[in-house]
Amino acid sequence: MYTKILLSAVIVTSSLSADLLIDAKKAGLKPIPTDKKELSKLIDNPKNPISEKKVELGKKLYFDPRLSKSGFISCNSCHNLSEGGDDGIPAAIGHMWTPNPHHLNSPTVYNSVFFNSQFWDGRDPHLEAQAQGPMQAAPEMSATPEHVAAVVTSMPQYVADFKAAYGKDVKITFEKIADTIATFERTLVTPSVYDDFLNGKKDALTKAQKDGLKTFIDKGCATCHNGIALGGEMNAFNITGVYKFQDVGDFKGDKNGMVKVPTLRNITQTAPYFHNGQIWELRDAIKEMGRIQLGADINDVEVASIEEFLKALDGRKEPVVLPQLPASTQTTPKPDIK
């Protein structure tokens, strides 16, 4: 009798998991593939194919503060790979301790390869183009393309690394440097138990996480947070209400008022939330999104359920080992803090 009851429970659980998988697929939710070849097709750039040498070189450049005007700020300063891939503060801090003039929060770099739009206003579709922006932005790294190229070409080891990665006839330009950083960023993918579940492992999620996924879908959250990235597309903002901190900063979206939907992957590690980083608690962000995007008063039980699901999006990260950077030479541009 006990065996029959147990078997019946297993059948019911399997059926519920199957139904949830169907609902997730209908809602546009997609997992990070487990097959390496399939994943490579998604993250690679045919115009600049990923290679181990390019990735290692891009990692050095990502962590090198000398690319900035001050010699103090690296890509990792605002997109810290030791935690959520962001900086954990409301507005990004850049050159001369300048807060972002639009009070914009640093998005995570993890899984950004899956975003169809980069930057909050979506002005660049590709990581290669995005990588050029912060290096040149006055309130960020505040460097010129000439400075960045001069820094890299001043060090024999970097020159040798570029030749090893691209061939002996490579021309080291600002664009090539940005492309190489982007190549490294393309590999920053963090699959989670959520992906395991969508890829067919029925017991990857706890019952509470499965219930939370169902609540997430039923309440309409997947309308914007879908695809592999659970975000990364442009969408209208303030649809059914006005964000209560809308006046903090002057950001209004792109020319059509559209704003990039932030990824929910590793969301428990990327507070504060929203484009201007004004909400610190995930439960508060869920309620506010329900109010201004769905016109829904998400109750405390539903909020807790969704939050439990979001915990399943904490991804598995490769250990980050700091690279050893080449030594500066007499021709390396000196830091400028003016």
Active-site residues, by number, are 140
Determine the Cα–Cα distance for residues 129 and 123; give it in Å rounded to an integer. 9
Q: Compute the distance between CA of residue 231 and CA of residue 129 in angstroms, rounded to an integer.
A: 19
* C-alpha pair distances (Å), 240 with each of 16, 53, 288, 299: 32, 49, 11, 17
In sequence order, what are the beta bridge partners of 118?
Answer: 124
- Rounded to whole angstroms, how far apart are CA atoms 333 and 154? 8
Write out the two tokens for 331: 């021709």
Which two structure tokens, joined as six digits, stand for 220? 């309409």
Tokens of 44: 């690679």
102 a known binding residue?
no
Ramachandran category for residue 68: left, alpha or beta (phi over 0 → left; psi -120 to 50 → alpha): beta
Q: Is 275 annotated as a binding residue?
A: no
135 annotated ligand-binding residue: no
Helix (H, G, I), strand (E, B) or coil at 269: helix
End-to-end CA distance of the chain: 80
Structure tokens, 292: 């201004």
**Is 221 marked as a binding-site residue?**
yes
Consult the annotation and say whether 234 binds a ligand.
Answer: no
Burial 32-47 (b: 16+ CB within 10 A, else e): bbeeeeebeeebeeee
Strands 258-260, 234-236: pairing is antiparallel
Known binding-site positions for heme c: 75, 78-79, 95, 221, 224-225, 289
Known binding-site positions: 75, 78-79, 95, 221, 224-225, 289
